[in-house]
Chains A and B, each alone.
Chain A
Amino acid sequence: MNVPDYSVWFNEKQHSGDHGRKLTGMPRTPRLHLPPTPARPGESPDFSYLQLSPAGAVPRPDVNARARDIGYLSLELVRVLDDAHDAVGPWHPHLEPAELQVGLRHMLLTRIYDDRMQRNQRSGKITFYMRSLGEEAVAVAQCMALRPRDMLFPSYRTQGLHIARGLPLVDMMCQLLSNTRDMCKGRQLPVMYHSAAQRLFSISGNLATQFPQAVGWAMAAAIKGEDDLAAAWIGEGSSAEADFHHALLFAAVYQAPVILNLVNNQWAISTFQGYAGGEQRSFAARGPGYGIAGIRVDGNDFLAVHAVTQWAAERARIGAGPTLIELVTYRAAAHSTSDDPSRYRAKDDYAHWPLGDPIERLKAHLIKHAGWTEERHQALVEELDAQVTASWKEAVTHGTLADGPRLDPDLMFEDVFKVMPPNLERQRAAMHAERSDVRWRK
Chain B
Amino acid sequence: MAQMNMTQALNSAMDVMLGRDPAVVLMGEDIGYFGGVFRVTDGLQRKYGAHRVLDTPIAEGGIVAAAIGMAVNGLRPVAEIQFADYIYPGFDQITSELARLRYRSAGDFYAPVTIRTPCGGGIRGGQTHSQSPEAIFTHVCGLKVVMPSNPYDAKGLLIAAIEDDDPVIFFEPKRLYNGPFDGDPAKPAAPWSTHPKGEVPEGHYRVPLGKAEIVRPGRDLTIVSYGTMVHVAAAAASAHGLDAEIIDLRSLVPLDTDTICASVRNTGRCVIAHEATRFSGFGAEILSVIQEECFWDLQAPIQRVTGWDTPYPHAFEWEYFPSQARFAAAFRVVMEPA
Contact = CB atoms under 8 A, between A and B. Distances in A.
B124 interface: yes
Interface stretch (B30-38, B172-180, B241-249): B30-38
Interface stretch (A18-26, A65-73, A217-225, A360-368): A18-26
Interface residues on A, range: 35 or more
A123 interface: no
Contacts of B211: none
B127 A427 contact: no
Contacts of B299: none
Interface residues of B, number: 60
B55 interface: yes
Contact of B62 (A240, A338, A412): A240
Nearest to B48: A2
A9 interface: yes
B254 interface: no
Contacts of A276: 57-58
Contacts, number: 174
Contacts of A2: 19, 47-49
Given A2-B49, A412-B316, A242 B59 contact: yes
A1 B127 contact: no
Given A2-B47, A182-B315, A271-B30, A9 B126 contact: no
Contacts of B108: 19-20
Given A1-B49, A15-B23, A424-B310, A189 B72 contact: no
Interface string B259-274: 0000000000000000
Q: Is the interface of B mostly helix, strand, loop or mixed?
A: loop
Given A6-B22, A241-B58, A276-B58, A431 B29 contact: no
Nearest to A245: B59
A257 interface: no
A401 interface: yes
B316 A409 contact: yes
A127 B124 contact: yes
A168 B243 CA distance: 56
B314 A188 contact: yes
Contacts of B165: 14
A82 to B, nearest CB: 35
Nearest to A128: B124
B74 A431 contact: no
B109 A19 contact: yes
B57 to A, nearest CB: 3
A23 B22 contact: no
Interface string B86-120: 10110000000000000000001100000000000
Closest 5 CB pairs of A and B: A186-B315, A205-B128, A4-B22, A240-B57, A440-B325
